[in-house]
């Protein structure tokens, strides 16, 4: 059974119980997914598969980011990379690459 960390709520489910007040999520760097709540969130990707959500919950080793049903922002810092996918979720979402210098490859 896989755990599903929920970014903005600081909780995780799927383990037969629920955890609260989570301040950091560490993934396996290949298939881990961090899912946002159904409120607007900003996913800041500051390093390889690492960053924070809303400046409050840190993540590392997370290859995939999934937004909730509200409008989310996915902002990449100069050194930010993600090896997996971004799934925006419900409404209109924003991809911010303004901190990246030079050409950016999106696959």
Find residue 95's DSSP bridge partners: 74
Q: What is the DSSP letter of 21?
A: -
pLDDT one-digit tens code per residue, 6-37: 554 555 655 566 667 778 889 999 989 998 88
Single out the residue of 77, 39, 81 nearest to residue 64, CA to CA.
Answer: 81
pLDDT band at 1 (very low <50, low <70, confident <90, very high): very low
> How confident is the model at residue 13, as a pLDDT?
56
pLDDT one-digit tens code per residue, 35-67: 888 889 999 999 999 999 999 899 999 999 999
Residue 98, CB-side half-sphere exposure with 13 Å CA sphere: 5
Whose tokens are 């930010």? That residue is 80
pTM exceeds 0.85: no
Q: Name the CA dihedral angle for 64, 39, 75, 94, rounded to a multiple of 10 degrees.
A: 100
> How confident is the model at residue 70, as a pLDDT?
92
């Amino acid at each position: 059974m896989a755990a599903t960390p929920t970014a903005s709520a600081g909780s995780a489910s799927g383990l037969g119980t629920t955890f609260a007040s989570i301040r950091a999520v560490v993934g396996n760097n290949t298939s881990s997914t961090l899912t946002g709540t159904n409120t607007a969130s900003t996913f800041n990707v500051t390093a390889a598969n690492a960053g924070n959500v809303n400046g409050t919950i840190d993540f590392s080793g997370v290859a995939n980011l999934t937004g909730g049903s509200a409008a989310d922002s996915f902002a990449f810092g100069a050194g930010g990379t993600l090896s997996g996918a971004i799934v925006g979720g419900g409404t209109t979402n924003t991809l911010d690459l303004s901190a990246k210098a030079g050409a950016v490859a999106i696959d």
